[in-house]
Structure 1
Amino acid sequence: MVTNKLSANEDYIKMKIDSEKTKNTEISMNKLSINEALTQMSIGSLTSEKMLKQALIRIDQNSDRHAFITVDREGALKQATHCDSLRTKSEYIGPLHGIIIAIKDNIHVAGLPNTAGTPAFSNFIPSEDSPVIGRLKKAGAIIIGKTNMHELAYGITSDNKAFGSVGNAILGNYIAGGSSGGTATAVALGMAVAGLGTDTGGSVRIPASLNGLVGFRPSVGRYPSEGLTSISHTRDTVGPIVSCVRDAQLLDTVLSGEPDKTEEISLRGLRLGVPREYFYDNIEPIIAQKTELLLAQLQDAGVELVYTDLENIGELNAQVGFPIVLCETKKLLSAYLKLNLPTETLDSLLEKIADPNVKGIMQMAINGNITKQVYDDVIERIRPDMQQLYSTYFTTNKVDAIIFPTTLLSARPIKGSEETVELNGIQTPTFPTYIHNTDPASNVGIPGLSIPLSSTAEGLPFGVEINGPINSDRRLLAIGLQIENIIQKAMRRSIETKGE
């Protein structure tokens, strides 16, 4: 049966094509990129105040998505007015002048509550910005508010029992992914132009993938980590969620504090590793089909695909992730409470946790279920072995990056997905199923970039991820830009064919 229905990503491309044809001066906030917004403001077609007001309308219209916990209407409007005033005098704060950005509610923003998605922190208002927020503000960004998340970042659905379940941008009764689900839904629905999340095991890349966005996890240590409600100093990092790779490049420049070193990449002769074992196992059929199509398109563009596996990656990964987080959570949250909420203890925090599953995990962390001996063995032996495996893979096979589906499956309904989700006719545990492909890069600390690939018949998006060697962030983003171009060119051809 032939259908002319466009996928969610194709619909976005069609919107861009129609906008180019009509040169419509009424700017849509739907997946408006940073660069598009800056261009429109430079020619007078858009102002920061107008952009902000459109974003606030989107927030009100989509309140059932529970994307935000706190919206700073007054503060954001004041800053937008200031940015517009400066622009009339040809004065600019920085490269993000007047851009609306949403912030996950575990990243400190001075003067705004920082709940980390849990009731115990509801009244905590930081007096200082985290360094990453300081860099955004110095670049001219406007913080519109704090976004909803999985409680304490301990989950991947963003089904928050205290502040509401975050709904997927396409289908509101489906999961948004997590733990940075609120940021992804906000950006996808035009409640902000860009957003920040945090990523422990996939918490930026998974919601980006499930909402048709770009999600970037940098090499650990690339961005400042102070001023976060963190659960793992080994694995946690801030990461941008944006509408396109160029926006990720811009935010990476701002957040890293490094000069813009955008590298030009040619696909011809580029070598990409394709680790079939583990990363391509038991994938939802439409994701497998679209990924294979992309691999063929990349090969046609001159990319050399290297079909080599990361030996025993599943076994190594299983030994690393959970012990690190469980052991580090207790120490980090104890210090965090002492510094920021001295009237709270780990026991009182535990008592107030709204999600039974999160409470169970926290109980394990507090009880010390992972011994120091086990933790030390992971940190000193197993994780270094895993890091060496990746390093050897990149150097021996002379590959620039590896490529695989970001998730094994698309979004599933919120209801019924707390414990298990359906994948290829079988109920599988929700958490390990969604982080299956994103977790290894988190454990070794290398950069990962999720790029929108396509959508299911229901319109639910999914992405493809690339990982690069440690500290290859700028090169990985440049590779991602070329892959994004290949995907979007194919979508344009599909749209033109369907329109004939």
Structure 2
Amino acid sequence: MGSGRMVGPGAAGRGPAQEAVAAALERAAAVAHLNAFITLDAEGAGAEPARHDRRGGGARRWCLAVKDNVHVAGLPNTAGTPALAGFVPAADAPVVAALRAAGAIVLGKTNMHELALGVTSGNPTFGAVGNAADPALFAGGSSGGTAAAVASGIVDAGLGTDTGGSVGIPAALNGIYGLRPSAGRYPSAGVTPLSVTRDTPGPMARTLDRLTALDAFVTGRTGAAPPPDRTLRLGLPRHVFTEDLEAPVRAAWEAAVDRLGTARTVWVPVDTGHLVEYDARAGMHLVLGEFAAAFDRYLAGHRVGRSTAEVVDAAADPTVAELLGAAALPTGPAYAGPAALRGAVAERRALQAAYAELFAVNGVDAILAPTVPVCARPLHRNEESLPLNGRDVPTFPTLIRNTSPSATAGLPSVTVPLPVEGSPPVGLQLVGPRGGDRVLLAVAARIDALLRRGEAGGARP
């Protein structure tokens, strides 16, 4: 929030909703060094609860942070990039409207990795986002500002977007809960696009109960849980997802595996290497193949007054500008033409079939793995690479390694914080079958309870 804009002076009041907003604004000021917000709407957030308090509905109001690529009526929607700084949508995105109807008061728009194409939220225009657990570390991305705002206690809940891990990664690195819903389950209108196939809004919260409630607010769906006395079958990856982990991540993961080996859970080893291979042939090719057309439609449909070329040319992050610029030019090296895009779509279908077979053959309720193979790293270090187990590895593919395959397949995933001692936060990712979001949330609740109680388990597989 440090370099963000504050709209209006804000005000405290006597009603419960006004008090909640005043407390949120005070907390935002106390942790302004995290740079979580691009726009903090003190005036709008203060006026809205006053109306509800007068009608007696203030007790049901709660504060929400919205990533700055999801439309909020009357607030700038920069998508973290200079050329869109003046774009102010006239209407809420449907997902925001649904949360407002459920009592949300939008406190402001949160900082993010430029155009949502990155995993650190080191934004050259609006400043880097600090981690709520340790401001000297990066928050992860691309929804880093939302994660920091939620984890630091500014707001009750947050809304991000996820293309290949942009909800799960910052949720894990900040020690909170996050949900990437099944593809198409949340409305995507009013969201600045990268890939129409892979993009989705997704909620974050400090408790799993609230995360589950947020999902119900957006979708209107409740229920659907495995019987409480049924043993859970948990997929334990044999390949990639549980390999080459940073030491604190490995320690937290191995402790979780031991703790979950109880009479109510059984580990089922599953082969997962082929999932990563399918994703390598589909994931980024979908983004590069879909970006230009999707962005053209978005800019024209919302009458932004900018072209895709103008937005990309003005991008402040050179990596983002180079990648998206080349993707949008038919002569560029990153351009994914029609044939490449058709190939990526075919690989995605094969990936979806592989996941469906894995769930069906093994009968698992969820596939578990660390959300991110590393912990958050220093905020201002070289973001192109980071050290891992004695060598330098590229930052972007390393951080999305465990989140991207299920995201490309359009499957739901939930990130749960693991108990840690003396290290930055570590997240546990649960992936479920497509459309099984409510069951997956219920499975996550049972696993979370086991982890929090620290029940000792049986033998590891």
* C-alpha displacement of 1:264: 5.4
In 2, distance between residues paired with 1:62 and 1:233? 35
CA distance in 2, matches of 1:265, 1:292: 27
Aligned to 1:462: 426
SS of structure 2 residue aligned to 1:383: helix
Quote the residue 1:373 is aligned against. 339
Matched, 1:481 2:445: yes
Equivalent residues of 1:218, 1:446 under 8 A apart: yes
* Deviating more after overlay: 310-319 vs 170-179: 310-319
Matches within 5 A, 1:88-487: 91=57, 97-258=60-221, 260-261=222-223, 263=225, 265-266=227-228, 268-368=230-330, 369-379=335-345, 381-455=346-420, 457=422, 459-487=423-451
The letter of the residue matching 1:299 is G
**Distance of 1:62 and 1:275 partners within structure 2:** 38
- Secondary structure (helix, strand or coil) at the match of 2:39 reads strand
How far the C-alpha of 1:311 sits from its partner, in A, is 4.5
SS state at 2:147 partner = helix
Provide, for residues 26-49 of structure 1, a one-character-per-residue CA deviation record: whole Å limited to 9, x for no partner. xxxxxxxxxxxxxxxxxxx99222
Q: What is the percent sequence identity of the aligned residues?
A: 41
Shift, 1:304, TM fit: 1.1
Equivalent AA in structure 1 for residue 339 of structure 2: Q
Q: Which amino acid aligns with 1:276?
A: R
3-state SS of paired residue (2:112): coil
Which secondary structure does the structure 2 equivalent of 1:312 belong to? helix
Opposite residue 150 of structure 2, the aligned amino acid is V
Asked if 1 retains the 8 angstrom alpha-carbon contact of 2:137 and 2:379, the reply is yes
SS at match of 2:310: helix
How far apart in 2 are the matches of 1:484 and 1:107? 29
Distance 1:275 1:56 in 2: 43
Return structure 1 stretches of 4+ with deviation > 6 angstroms: none
SS at match of 1:384: helix
Shift of 1:237: 0.5
Gaps of 5+ in 2: 1-13, 457-461
Cα distance in 2 between the residues matched to 1:101 and 1:349: 28
CA separation in 2, counterparts of 1:326 and 1:472? Answer: 29
**1:430 Cα deviation after fit:** 0.4
2:5 maps to: none
- 2:193 maps to a residue whose letter is S
- CA displacement at 1:345 relative to structure 2: 1.6
Aligned partner of 1:56 in structure 2 is 25
Matched residue SS, 2:419:
strand
Q: Partner amino acid for 2:192?
A: T
SS at match of 2:186: coil
CA contact 1:272–1:402 (8 Å) conserved in 2: yes
The answer (yes or no) to whether the contact 2:411–2:432 under 8 Å persists in 1 is yes
Cα deviation code 1:428-483 (max 9, x no counterpart): 000000000000111100000000003362x4101101000010000000000111
Q: CA deviation at 1:302?
A: 2.1
> Separation in 2 of the partners of 1:374 and 1:439?
19
Is 1:198–1:238's contact at 8 Å kept on the other side of the alignment? yes
Give the conservation status (yes or no) of the 8 Å contact 1:406–1:437: yes
Preserved CA contact (<8 Å) 2:111 2:144: yes
The one-letter amino acid paired with 2:336 is: I
Bigger Cα displacement from structure 2, 293-302 vs 163-172 = 293-302
C-alpha contact 2:175 2:417 (8 A) present in aligned 1: yes
- Could you give the per-residue CA deviations for residues 131-180 of structure 1, whole angstroms, max 9, x where no partner exists? 11111111121111000000000000000000010000121121100000
Q: Is the 8 A contact 2:313 2:325 kept in 1?
A: no
Aligned partner of 2:359: which letter?
F
Tell me the CA shift for residue 262 of structure 1. Answer: 5.2
The size of the alignment, in residue pairs, is: 439
Higher helix share: 1
Contact kept? 1:265, 1:482, Cα under 8 Å: no
RMSD (Å) for aligned C-alpha atoms: 1.8
Match of 2:43 among 55, 70, 74: 74
- TM-score where L is the length of structure 1: 0.85
Partner of 1:12: none
- The amino acid across from 1:490 in the alignment is G
Distance 1:276 1:109, change over 3 A: same
Q: Is the 8 A contact 2:275 2:355 kept in 1?
A: no
In the alignment, what sits opposite 2:54? 85
SS of 1:106's equivalent in the other structure is: coil
TM-score (norm 2): 0.92
Identify unmatched segments of 5+ residues in structure 1: 1-44, 494-500
The 2-side partners of 1:240 and 1:478 are apart by: 16
In 2, the alpha carbon distance for the partners of 1:262 and 1:78 equals 38
- CA-to-aligned-CA distance 1:281-308 (integer Å, 9 cap, x gap): 1011221122122122211242111012
Q: Which moved more, 1:109-118 or 1:285-294?
A: 285-294
CA distance in 1, matches of 2:74, 2:122: 26
Do 1:271 and 1:398's aligned partners in 2 also have CA atoms closer than 8 Å? Answer: yes
Contact 2:18 2:46 in 1 (8 A): yes
1:417 and 1:430 in contact (8 A); partners too: no
Q: What displacement does 1:342 show? A: 4.8
